[in-house]
Amino acid sequence: MNLASLFQLLDAARGLCGHRDYVVVGSLSVLGLAQVTAIPADMTMSIDADCYTPTDPGRVFDLQAELGEGSPYHRSHGIYLDPVSPKLPTLPDGWEQRLIRIQQGEVTAAFLEPNDAAVSKLARGEPRDLRWVRAGLKAGIVSLAAVRLRMRSTAFLDAEEQQVALQALESLAQSKAGKSR
């Protein structure tokens, strides 16, 4: 997905529910950088935009039938809206102040800063999430030092999630160190 197709999707959402502001979390949050840097394909290969409406987070779930997976929009455009709760991602303190805001037409999207998104992806620990973080590290979009620091101020779901995230971070750090030798 690219920034233009994401905003087309969000504009369709605006037309259906009236909301003009969206917070984009997950893999496609990196599109907030699309106007300033080249983004690796491994970071934008997702076809679903995880997002919510900040002033009425539950409202975004009403869009599932028209814009969600398997919807007419998905069948027509090959992409879809994946409504999420703002409580879904595991994020460090201060993430709201680091959101990257972009306005196009009548829609404003607020994107997670990539290091904040990386914390959330490491907490999930799924292979596709680790691939996203690895690509971000390689491209210089994600910083090991920043992620490590932000993990210190993250309220993880539980000790297991924190351990998964820390182990994934250290594994990525070791593999990056091995490649730089």
pLDDT at residue 176, as a whole number: 76
Q: What is the pLDDT along the chain (181 residues), one digit of tens a residue?
A: 999 999 999 999 999 999 999 999 999 999 999 877 789 999 999 999 999 999 999 999 999 999 999 999 999 999 999 999 999 999 999 999 999 999 999 999 999 999 999 999 999 999 999 999 999 999 999 999 999 999 999 999 999 999 999 999 999 999 877 665 5
CB 45 within 8 A of CB 135: no
- Going along the chain, which residue ranges are E strands? 21-25, 48-52, 80-83, 100-104, 107-111
Name the one residue in this structure whose structure tokens are 């992409």: 79
Name the one residue in this structure whose structure tokens are 């690895």: 134
Contacts of 65 (CB under 8 A, 6+ apart): 71
Integer angstrom CA distances of residue 73 from 26, 46, 68, 106, 154: 20, 16, 8, 19, 36
Contacts of 150 (CB under 8 A, 6+ apart): 92, 115, 116, 119
Contacts of 121 (CB under 8 A, 6+ apart): 27, 129, 130, 132, 133
Question: Distance between CA atoms of 26 and 133, rounded to whole angstroms?
Answer: 11
Nearest to 90 by CA among 150, 23, 170: 150
pLDDT at residue 38, as a whole number: 87
Question: Distance between CA atoms of 109 and 100, rounded to whole angstroms?
Answer: 8
Distance of CA 24 to the CA centre of its chain: 6
Question: Distance between CA atoms of 138 and 97, rounded to whole angstroms?
Answer: 25
What angle do the packed helices 159-180 and 114-124 form, to 10 degrees?
A: 110
pTM: 0.93
